[in-house]
Amino acid sequence: MSQKRKILLFLVAISSVSLFLHHGGHLNWTMETSPMVCPSTSPTPTPKHTSIAFLKTHKTASSTVQNILFRFAERNNLTVALPGYPCDHQFCYPHTFNNRFVHPHTVPPKIITSHMRFNRAELLRLMPNDTIYITILREPASMFESLFSYYNQYCLSFKRVPNGSLETFLENPWSYYRPEEKYAVYARNTLTYDLGGDKDQTDPMYIRNFVAEVDRVFSLVMIAEYFDESLILLRHLLGWELEDVLYVKLNMRTSTSKLSLSSGLPAKIRAWNSVDAALYDHFNASLWRKLEDLGVGCVAREVQLLQRATDRLLRGCFGSNFPQLRSASQIKNKNLRPWQPSSKVAIVGYELPSNISRGSRGQSQDMCLKLIMPEVQYTHLLQHSESLRYRRKHPTRTPMQTLRPAISTLHQQGRKDHKETLERSITSPPLGAEIGGTRGTQQVSKKQTT
């Protein structure tokens, strides 16, 4: 060991001891959970910011951010704008967002976070004027690989590729890709399309202007590869506590449904998705500038605290038997089964330990369940609870007037991809009844069947 290092260790030891003495020997856990590790940017304590538009992009860990926002909204009684008739659990994606897509019982909203194709003008009319715009991007090569696997059976541009080979597609994308075809939005510059841009316009001038426009509108563009760091920036931007951004990863694939990328493919993917690649490079760079402004060291410390707090939360919820990652068919609780895009791709979810109600540290069962609840089920749950709240506030409207949009939405969805879940929520006590706190949902369900 070098002399310098010895001296350094000695100094560290001395200062630790003095810190310990200074705190009268009470240096303990609670010190570590001190919420503000990076200095707050505002000199005076400000209330938590609650007007948020999160553009949920595809295949970017955005389901996890949505789950954080849903839980925050519920804890703080904030109205979340949700899709209504004729959309499903997304705002009629891939159509461009329109305020007509919003369920009438979910306005005026504070938060909006379901999938949409971004439309700034409509959101300006819908959302409070102090709304902060946030989104998330992912590295283009792994993103495209993910899209290619996930939408392989939906997107014809992918489906017509022989042997489902990503290499074959990239050798000559134009022999498989038809820009106007349904679901072609998943086959090229998908992030750009989600952000309201033109996926097939790859002129450098257009790209530059588009990136600048996104930069103007969005206060924070998170990066999936640096998810925890992005969350720390998010919580500082919104003045939230660390506890507000605890999460469990949702909507993941099993490792066997991931393709590995041979050398040369990432470059081809970037060339084919050149607008997305430009967006990514720009916002990855700006993320790191923001992290440096906040302090890379203190961010790392906060990330560590976040991970420890998550561990504690999971232990509190599930004891030592953490929810197990399972394939959908193995998950007994239908409310926790994630949606499966095709038989070839397995999206894993969590199975709840059967004795969750006796959470060892008294975490509420409701909160624990929602931490691992997939997007579609959570959306339906909020559609129910916000409709109930709306009808309590507007008791003079006749039930049929207020109920009809919800019913149509449910039937619509039922026909589409979540028949099973919905049939269950319509014919048997819905989720709300199981997890408590939303008495009355059962009556709604009965009405829906008549």
The residue ranges that bind ligand NAG (CB under 6 A) are 23, 26, 28-31, 76-77, 129, 139, 162-163, 225, 284-285, 288, 319, 321, 353, 355, 358, 360
Task: Report which of 149, 65, 188 is spatially closest to residue 347, judged by C-alpha positions.
Answer: 149
Longest dimension (CA), the chain: 82
Residue 33 CB contacts under 8 Å (≥ 6 apart), including other chains: 242, 305, 309
**Is the Cβ of residue 71 or residue 117 nearer to ligand NAG in the bound state?**
71
Closer residue to ligand NAG, CB minimum distance, 76 or 401: 76
Query: CB of residue 37 vs ligand NAG: minimum separation in angstroms?
Result: 16
Query: What sign for the dihedral angle of Cα 205, 208, 212, 218?
Result: positive
118, 93 Cβ separation under 8 angstroms: no
Residue 446 contacts by C-beta under 8 Å, 6 or more apart in sequence? none
Q: How far is the CB of 291 from ligand NAG (least distance, A)?
A: 9
- Residue type, position 85, single letter: Y
> Roughly what angle, to the nearest 10 degrees, separates helices 399-415 and 441-449?
70
Residue 132 or 347 with smaller CB distance to ligand NAG: 132
Min separation Cβ 442 and ligand NAG, Å: 19
Q: Minimal distance in Å, beta carbon 172 to ligand NAG?
A: 12
Task: Give the whole-angstrom CA distance, residue 195 versus residue 282.
Answer: 15
* For ligand NAG, the closer CB: 85 or 227: 227
Helix boundaries (H) for 295-347: 296-318
Pick 209 or 321: Cβ nearer ligand NAG? 321
- Least CB distance to ligand NAG at residue 281 (A): 7
Nearer to ligand NAG, 352 or 422 (CB): 352
Residue closer to ligand NAG (CB basis): 12 or 124: 124
- Which tokens go with 149? 């696997």
Instruction: Determine the Cα angle at 276 with ends 270 and 279, to 5°.
Output: 120
- Closest CB 420 distance from ligand NAG, rounded Å: 27
Minimum distance, C-beta of residue 389 to ligand NAG, in the bound complex (Å): 8
Q: Which residues contact 428 (CB under 8 A, 6 or more apart)?
A: 445
Smallest distance, Å, CB 358 to ligand NAG? 4
Residue closer to ligand NAG (CB basis): 44 or 129:
129
CA distance 217 to 66: 19
Task: Assign 350 to helix, strand or coil.
Answer: strand
HEC readout, 152-170: CCCCHHHHCCHHHCHHHHH
